[in-house]
């Protein structure tokens, strides 16, 4: 007995050791085999990160796990991803591992987790999933090493995208979970399946399903020999609408044949609410309903490259109603009679008839009817709408989750007929519309706008493709608007992605730009108490103005008052054209700062950084008011704070804007021509002028009149350059040139030519003695350098240059005087009025010694002034200039002159 136990124990131990060792023995072989088999059978680039073989995971089956599988297409979809799989699990009998590489291996179970399948069909009909190599045998005629003998398969948490450019169909299946259990080794068997997913469907650019929940629990009869699948027991749910199916689908070599009928298993009106996405329909099991809702239909025929299956689908409801228990109102008198038909199998001959659609909330009734045909080609739409709806009643009867509250009375009696090609090509003459619509006492609020919008009245009249709006009255915040005009393409805007085009005349008593400034938000992801992440919008503290991207509008406006930031503009009028996220201003005029402004330009918010271009004409603006109100003025002309008077200017500038549409000063580029119409200076208001006033004792800045002064400015890279500017103030010539930055640093040169008569009697006497005559027309040139900032200026006189300038003037005058005396002496000798032998004295015009024949010696003596005399002049010049620039203010003495 003990011996038997030992043998059994040894066998068990051997089996365990084999199970542990087997993965290491077979894993490398399987990895090469799997990769070789896939690449031999598929015309694509197949790769995976790793492969894992386990004997214990699903014992007695062996489990093969392929990690991070990727299949990348070759031409004509070269480089496109066909499939990605985080984990592919294959289960097979252990004995399959002991077969040679040439023997087929049967796979019993397949699982695909976290996969992404991207199926494409191009405009030529090429499919990227058509990658199987047709030859399925080896060179010896034997089968390839893998074969499927599935009993069970699963696809978990995966996504399948399908885009067919030939049929213009786009299908996106997300959160796909699908499993099937059957026996694929038999020609005839049953397949038990369960599927759930979120399905989105677009056809020819039109969205028909948007993440609609679809569930199918079905048993199929499989005829693998004929590729025919017949519905047995089944139930499907689209959102929460239950449907049952009968019929079959058969896949042939060149087409797919089907005959499927479906219907709602009951006629309860809750079936209608179930069609609505669950996020909107909410808890329909608690809703009280009356009446019926029935969907039944049949899809049958063949589907190939030319034909689609025929269809006959009917949706009906009679005298139905529903009421949510938590809401005060109910929706009653609901009648529906709709059908989707295709009798020929030709896609473009599918049409939808809306024979009747009505409902009532309280006393408000609304009806609609019409038909939609030629769906796949040039869709034809014929609709009629009539009724009155109190918008506030909608949210009291139906559980809408809205960030804004709707109210107001909408009345419509409109008929329209058009084809989509005409809409897309903007051929509105082909649109046949008639009728009227109006909305009264409409209020709209949303986090996207700072104030509630109130429309007291808006009338619309439909005529062909145009909608005229004879009267619209709106208020929001401080803003009031009265408008009239027309919309050229309301239908195109509603049914396609066209811009809303129109032309309006707008009147406003007060228009506040701040009413349209939206607080910016940013998305922040946080983790809640339940451990789940959620994304919330949080304000950034900034406000932005955006030019709407969906508008193509021309507005002729007239506003009594426009409020922008801290500015108040009066009598604003002109034309505003909104197009391509750009607002163009044409012939705008407004009154501000006791003057007027005319402007043309644009503002664009199309790019992340808004930009602008402006041509401004400033006429008779009050300098003090404009300086205090405009940051631009404060940076272009900082000294304007000390000036009282009127300004006239033309300014051309462009640059970037902040999010609130104020200029980014460092980005400005442009120029300005300015003229002071009237101007008086108060030096105490500007540190620079105050310092100049205290240091130049011959000028009283308070008495200066700068009227008619003109200047030219250019600005770029945050710098303002002033062209050399010459002007004369009470006989004093000024020249100013240089530049300053928007950071208030400056570098200016100031040159003054000061007449000697303004320097006082003492200075005039000194200059007279040096020059030897009256200095009535003599000027003193003072070059001054100005640096630092406007708040803390640094004023520096170029003393040496000033001394040199004054010395040269005095020396030149002395030489001229000496030459004049010598000439007079020679004339006296020639006329016999003077003794030629009397010595010449430079201070005596009657004495000069000269040779009567040559007269050369006296000329030589007059050509120079000795060094002591020139030094005397320089010293005197320094004393004079020192007196001019002494720190103590001294009133100019103009009463005493030598």
Q: Where are the domains of the chain?
A: 18-131+145-166, 593-744, 762-884
Which pair of tokens denotes residue 266? 């009951």
The interaxial angle of helices 799-830 and 761-771, nearest 10 deg, is: 50
Distance CA 390, CA 149 (A): 63
Please say whether the beta carbons of 811 and 870 come within 8 A: yes
Span 25-38, mean pLDDT?
62
Span 440-459, mean pLDDT?
79
Please say whether the beta carbons of 273 and 287 come within 8 A: yes
Distance CA 758, CA 730 (A): 10
Distance CA 813, CA 807 (A): 10
DSSP string, 549-574: TTEEEEEEEEEEEEEETTEEEEEEEE
Per-residue confidence (pLDDT) for residue 225, from 0 to 100: 84
627 vs 341, residue with greater confidence: 341
Distance CA 554, CA 504 (A): 6
Residue 259, pLDDT > 90, answer yes
- Give the number of other Cβ atoms within 10 Å of residue 703's Cβ: 10
Share of the chain above pLDDT 90, in %: 15
Q: What is the distance in angstroms between the CA of the first residue and the CA of the last residue of the chain?
A: 152
Identify the bridge partners of residue 293 per DSSP, sorted by sequence position: none
Cα atoms in the 13 Å half-sphere on the side-chain side of 14:
6
Distance CA 320, CA 333 (A): 6
Which pair of tokens denotes residue 658? 């902040």
- DSSP helix/strand/coil, 592: strand
Per-residue confidence (pLDDT) for residue 348, from 0 to 100: 82
Please say whether the beta carbons of 701 and 679 come within 8 A: no
**Phi, psi at 580, each rounded to 5°:** 55, 45
Per-residue confidence (pLDDT) for residue 776, from 0 to 100: 58
Identify the bridge partners of residue 692 per DSSP, sorted by sequence position: none
Span 132-142, mean pLDDT?
54
Distance CA 334, CA 659 (A): 49
For 585-607, b/e burial (b = at least 16 CB within 10 A) is beebebebbebbbebbbbbbbee
- DSSP helix/strand/coil, 492: helix
Residue 842, pLDDT > 50, answer no
Span 335-341, mean pLDDT?
93
Distance CA 292, CA 623 (A): 77
Span 178-191, mean pLDDT?
85
pTM here is: 0.57
Cα atoms in the 13 Å half-sphere on the side-chain side of 405:
11
Strand segments (E) across 393-532: 406-419, 432-444, 453-463, 466-476, 479-487, 500-512, 518-527
**Predicted confidence band of residue 887 (pLDDT cuts 50, 70, 90):** very low
Distance CA 888, CA 37 (A): 104
Omega of the bond leading into 60 within 30 degrees of 0 (cis): yes
Please count the helices (runs of H) and the strands (runs of E) in the chain.
Answer: 13, 40
**What's the mean pLDDT when you consider all of the chain?**
77
**Predicted confidence (pLDDT) per residue in 288-337, tens digit:** 888 888 899 999 998 887 888 999 999 999 999 988 888 899 999 999 99
Residue 504, pLDDT > 70, answer yes
Distance CA 318, CA 469 (A): 37
Per-residue confidence (pLDDT) for residue 896, from 0 to 100: 40
Token pair 């002991």 in the structure block, residue: 98
Which residue blocks in 378-419 are alpha helix, DSSP H? 391-397
Q: Which of 115, 60, 121, 125 is nearest to 89 (CA)?
A: 115
Identify the bridge partners of residue 522 per DSSP, sorted by sequence position: 538
Distance CA 496, CA 476 (A): 29
**Predicted confidence band of residue 169 (pLDDT cuts 50, 70, 90):** confident
CA 720 distance to own-chain centroid: 31
Which pair of tokens denotes residue 502? 């129109």
Distance CA 212, CA 277 (A): 6
CA 560 distance to own-chain centroid: 31
**Phi, psi at 199, each rounded to 5°:** -115, 130
Distance CA 401, CA 137 (A): 61
234 vs 16, residue with greater confidence: 234
- Give the number of other Cβ atoms within 10 Å of residue 285's Cβ: 8
Q: Parallel, antiparallel, or unpaired: how do β-strands 479-487 and 500-512 relate? A: antiparallel
Q: Which of 298, 365, 300, 305 is nearest to 331 (CA)?
A: 365
**Predicted confidence (pLDDT) per residue in 404-427, tens digit:** 567 889 899 999 888 888 877 878
Residue 844, pLDDT > 60, answer no
**Predicted confidence (pLDDT) per residue in 774-805, tens digit:** 555 677 777 888 888 888 888 887 666 666 66
**Phi, psi at 240, each rounded to 5°:** -120, 10
Region of poorest pLDDT, from 57-66, 213-222, 389-398: 57-66
Span 652-675, mean pLDDT?
85
- DSSP helix/strand/coil, 641: helix
Q: In Å, what is the CA distance from 254 to each residue of 235, 302, 349, 426?
A: 30, 10, 23, 41
Distance CA 233, CA 192 (A): 9
Q: In Å, what is the CA distance from 534 to each residue of 519, 524, 561, 687?
A: 21, 8, 45, 57
**Predicted confidence band of residue 30 (pLDDT cuts 50, 70, 90):** low
Tell me, what DSSP letter sits at residue 142?
P
**Phi, psi at 313, each rounded to 5°:** -125, 130
Residue 198, pLDDT > 80, answer yes
**Predicted confidence band of residue 500 (pLDDT cuts 50, 70, 90):** confident
Per-residue confidence (pLDDT) for residue 643, from 0 to 100: 80
**Predicted confidence band of residue 79 (pLDDT cuts 50, 70, 90):** confident
Please say whether the beta carbons of 392 and 362 come within 8 A: no
Share of the chain above pLDDT 70, in %: 71
Distance CA 842, CA 839 (A): 10
Distance CA 543, CA 449 (A): 11
Distance CA 684, CA 757 (A): 27
Q: In Å, what is the CA distance from 197 to each residue of 104, 154, 265, 301, 318?
A: 35, 14, 22, 27, 32
Distance CA 465, CA 467 (A): 7
Per-residue confidence (pLDDT) for residue 690, from 0 to 100: 77
Span 363-389, mean pLDDT?
88
Strand segments (E) across 48-104: 50-58, 61-73, 81-93
Per-residue confidence (pLDDT) for residue 637, from 0 to 100: 83
Which pair of tokens denotes residue 888? 């103590």
Which pair of tokens denotes residue 654? 């462009």
Distance CA 617, CA 606 (A): 27
């Amino acid at each position: 007995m003990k011996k038997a136990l030992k043998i059994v124990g040894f066998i068990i131990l051997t089996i365990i050791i084999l199970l542990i060792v087997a993965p290491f023995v077979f894993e490398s072989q399987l990895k090469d085999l799997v990769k070789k088999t896939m690449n031999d059978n598929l015309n694509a680039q197949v790769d995976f990160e790793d492969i894992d073989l386990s004997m214990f995971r699903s014992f007695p089956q062996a489990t093969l796990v392929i990690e991070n599988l990727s299949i990348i297409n070759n031409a004509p979809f070269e480089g496109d991803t066909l499939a990605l799989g985080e984990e592919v699990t294959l289960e097979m009998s252990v004995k399959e591992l002991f077969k040679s590489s040439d023997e087929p291996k049967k796979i019993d179970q397949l699982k695909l987790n976290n996969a992404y399948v991207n199926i494409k069909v191009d405009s030529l009909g090429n499919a990227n999933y058509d990658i199987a190599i047709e030859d399925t045998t080896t060179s010896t005629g034997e089968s390839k090493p893998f074969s499927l003998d599935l009993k069970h398969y699963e696809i978990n948490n995966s996504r399948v995208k399908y885009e067919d450019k030939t049929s213009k169909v786009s299908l996106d299946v997300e959160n796909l979970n699908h499993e099937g259990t059957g026996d694929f080794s038999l020609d005839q068997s049953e397949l038990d399946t369960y599927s759930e997913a979120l399905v989105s469907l677009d056809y020819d650019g039109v969205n028909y399903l948007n993440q609609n929940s679809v569930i199918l629990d079905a048993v199929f009869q499989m005829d693998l020999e004929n590729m025919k699948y017949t519905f047995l027991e089944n139930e499907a749910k689209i959102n929460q609408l239950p449907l049952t199916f009968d019929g079959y689908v058969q896949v042939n070599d060149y087409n797919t044949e089907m005959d499927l009928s479906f219907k709602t298993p009951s006629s309860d009106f809750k079936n209608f609410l179930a069609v609505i996405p669950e996020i909107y329909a909410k808890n329909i099991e608690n809703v009280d309903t009356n009446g019926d809702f029935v969907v039944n239909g049949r899809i049958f025929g063949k589907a190939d490259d030319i034909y689609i299956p025929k269809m006959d689908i009917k949706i009906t409801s009679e005298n139905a109603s529903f009421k949510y228990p938590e809401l005060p109102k109910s929706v009653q008198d609901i009648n529906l009679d709709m059908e989707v038909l295709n009798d020929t199998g030709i896609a473009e001959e599918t049409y939808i008839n809306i024979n009747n659609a009505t409902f009532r909330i309280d006393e408000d009734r609304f009806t609609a009817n019409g038909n939609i045909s030629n769906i796949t080609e040039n869709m034809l739409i014929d609709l009629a709408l009539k009724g009155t709806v109190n918008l506030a009643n909608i949210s009291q009867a139906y559980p809408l989750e809205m960030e804004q509250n709707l109210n107001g009375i909408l009345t419509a009696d409109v008929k329209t007929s058009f084809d989509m090609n005409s809409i897309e090509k903007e051929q509105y003459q082909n649109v046949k519309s008639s009728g009227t619509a109006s909305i009264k006492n409409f209020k709209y609020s949303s986090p996207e706008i700072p104030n509630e919008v109130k429309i007291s009245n808006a009338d619309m009249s439909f005529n062909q493709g145009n909608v005229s709006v004879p009267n619209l009255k709106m208020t929001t915040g401080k803003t009031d608007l009265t408008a009239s005009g027309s919309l050229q393409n309301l239908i195109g805007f509603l049914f396609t992605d066209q811009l809303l085009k129109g032309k309006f005349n707008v009147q406003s008593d007060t228009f506040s730009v701040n009413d349209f400034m939206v607080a910016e938000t940013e998305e922040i992801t946080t983790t809640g108490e339940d451990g789940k992440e959620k994304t919330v919008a949080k304000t950034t503290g900034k406000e932005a103005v955006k030019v709407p991207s969906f508008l193509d509008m021309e507005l002729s406006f007239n506003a009594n008052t426009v409020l922008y930031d801290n500015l108040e503009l009066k009598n604003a009028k002109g034309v505003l054209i909104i197009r391509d996220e750009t607002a163009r201003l044409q012939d705008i005029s407004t009154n501000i700062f006791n003057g007027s402004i005319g402007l043309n330009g644009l503002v664009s918010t199309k790019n992340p950084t808004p930009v602008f271009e402006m041509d401004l004409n400033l006429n008779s603006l009050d300098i003090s008011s404009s300086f205090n109100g405009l940051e631009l003025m404060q940076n272009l002309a900082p000294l304007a704070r000390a000036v009282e008077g009127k300004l006239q200017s033309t300014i051309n500038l462009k640059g970037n804007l902040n999010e609130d549409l104020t200029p980014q000063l460092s980005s400005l580029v442009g120029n300005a021509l300015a003229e002071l119409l009237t101007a008086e200076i108060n030096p105490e208001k500007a540190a620079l002028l105050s310092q100049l006033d205290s240091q130049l004792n011959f000028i009283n800045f308070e008495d200066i009149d700068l009227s008619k002064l003109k200047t030219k400015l250019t600005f770029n890279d945050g710098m303002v350059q002033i062209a050399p500017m010459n002007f004369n103030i009470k006989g004093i010539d000024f020249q100013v040139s240089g530049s300053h930055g928007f950071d208030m640093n400056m570098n200016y040169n100031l040159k003054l030519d000061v007449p000697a008569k303004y320097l006082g009697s003492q200075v005039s006497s000194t200059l007279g003695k040096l020059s030897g005559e009256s200095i009535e027309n003599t000027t003193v040139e003072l070059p001054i350098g100005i640096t630092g900032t406007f708040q803390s200026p640094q004023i520096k006189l170029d003393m040496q240059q000033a001394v040199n300038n004054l010395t040269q003037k005095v020396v030149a005058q002395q030489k001229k005087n000496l030459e004049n005396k010598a000439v007079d002496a020679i004339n006296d000798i020639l006329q016999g009025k003077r003794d030629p032998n009397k010595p010449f004295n430079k201070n005596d015009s009657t004495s000069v010694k000269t040779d009567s024949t040559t007269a050369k010696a006296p000329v030589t003596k007059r050509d120079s002034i000795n060094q002591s005399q020139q030094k005397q002049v320089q010293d005197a010049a320094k004393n004079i200039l020192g007196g001019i620039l002494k720190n103590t203010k001294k009133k100019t003495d103009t009463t005493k002159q030598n």
